[in-house]
Amino acid sequence: MADLPVGVVRLGRDDRILETNRAFVSWCGDDVLGRLFSDFFVETEDFLPDEGGSLRLCVSRVDPKRAAFVMRTVDVDGSVLVVIDASARRRAGQALRASLQLAQRTRHRLELIIAASIAFAAARSVDRLADILATTTAQAFAAEESAVFLADDSDTLILAAGSNPLAGYFDDTRVRAGTRQWREVVKISGPDEAEKVTPGLGRAMREQGVEALIATPIVHAGMRLGAWACFFRHPRTFDEEAVPLADALAGQAGQTLTTIQLQNQLEHAAFHDETTGLPNRRMLEERPRIDVGGAILAILFIDLDGFKAVNDRLGHDQGDEVLREVARRLSENVRDEDVLARYGGDEFVVISSVGTSSDAQRIAERLRAAVASPIVSLPEGMGLTASIGVARTIDHDEQRPLDSLIRAADHAMYRAKSAGGNRVQFSDDPNTDRP
């Protein structure tokens, strides 16, 4: 018994050690006789349990790195334990269990990425995409709060979705993106670590009860589009899968965000005038009917008197500057709910809801006066005026197609121009109301 390569222990009926061999003593020390076996080994969970069997996995109280299988044989005097070293097996089992757990987490997060990819693809607006990203990141990392920041034209990060518990620290949810140097995932576990990353951040986390955070820039094709962050109000560490998952979600969001922004730019370019930035004729033609908040519509067709001379004498570049100035003046003299569009060349259209013909007259005269005011960039003796034609629906004719109203206003404009210009002329179309 003494020279066996395994531990052999004789226990009395009270489970105290009566006799043992050298192997067991080498593991547990000389002072073993008379003591309980449980003073030296305690049963632990086995990753492959011996269901219904006689083997039990135990871990040493003397050396926690040592594990052993223990098999008990009971007799009339007590029992005999055979203790087989299983340290290597336990280490392998722990590694296997960790791998299985990591595989399960990876599968779960992969499912989240796939679900996020599908949700991102369905997003048709930047706001919707930001909402999906905030929800997805919070779920993926089991965070109490998450926030998505998007960069505006001045490279300032603005809160677009979610909530930011460190809003006071981040200057009321606005951060100058150009001053932030990080270009990769930032993981912070605890305020002390936060203070080492950015002075003041640890203090803010303590004040707001934030225990950890993870933040990731949203970058696509080398351009930083924004960032997202998750905030934890419980102690949190991050495993090796955290960074790949964060990068994957940010990468998908960046690609989708770029696509949506490009679509928005293309749509804006298709329906807006490049020179003035106003809606263009195509936008009006794509909207056969329009609602500007009232049952009665007034259509003002504006043609600039004297603009051809500006182009001929000063060139098209100066002409474009004049058009932008006219667009600015017109914009300042219509309401937010009105529609102002550049119809083509030196022609503009205003669509407004009015109560009476006198309201339409006042609007037209106000716009005419705005155009006629001197333009400082033009030489002395050169100026612009406007010929304005007005067509207005009558109460029961609110469903009349927009293009027919524009044509009626256009004809009225030509009558105003033929009469010398710089005046307002109402349509004589019998289907429109007259002042």
Residue 356 vs residues 294, 334, 353, 423: alpha-carbon distances, Å: 11, 16, 9, 19
Beta bridge partners of 111: none
Dist CA 303 CA 282 (whole Å): 18
Angle CA 208–210–212, to nearest 5: 155
Residue 4: half-sphere exposure toward Cβ, Cα within 13 Å: 13
For 399-413, letters b (16+ CB in 10 Å) and e give ebebeebbbbbbbbb
Dist CA 107 CA 96 (whole Å): 16
356 dihedral zone (left: phi>0; alpha: psi -120 to 50; beta): beta
Q: Does residue 346 have an active-site annotation?
A: yes
> Which residue, 216, 223, 214, is CA-closest to 257?
223
Q: Which of these is catalytic: 273, 303, 346, 433? A: 346
Dist CA 341 CA 116 (whole Å): 39
Sheet architecture: strand order including 41-43: 17-20, 7-11, 78-85, 67-75, 55-60, 41-43
Length of the chain: 435
Dist CA 345 CA 91 (whole Å): 81
> Which residue, 354, 339, 228, is CA-closest to 286?
339
Question: What positions carry a catalytic annotation?
Answer: 346
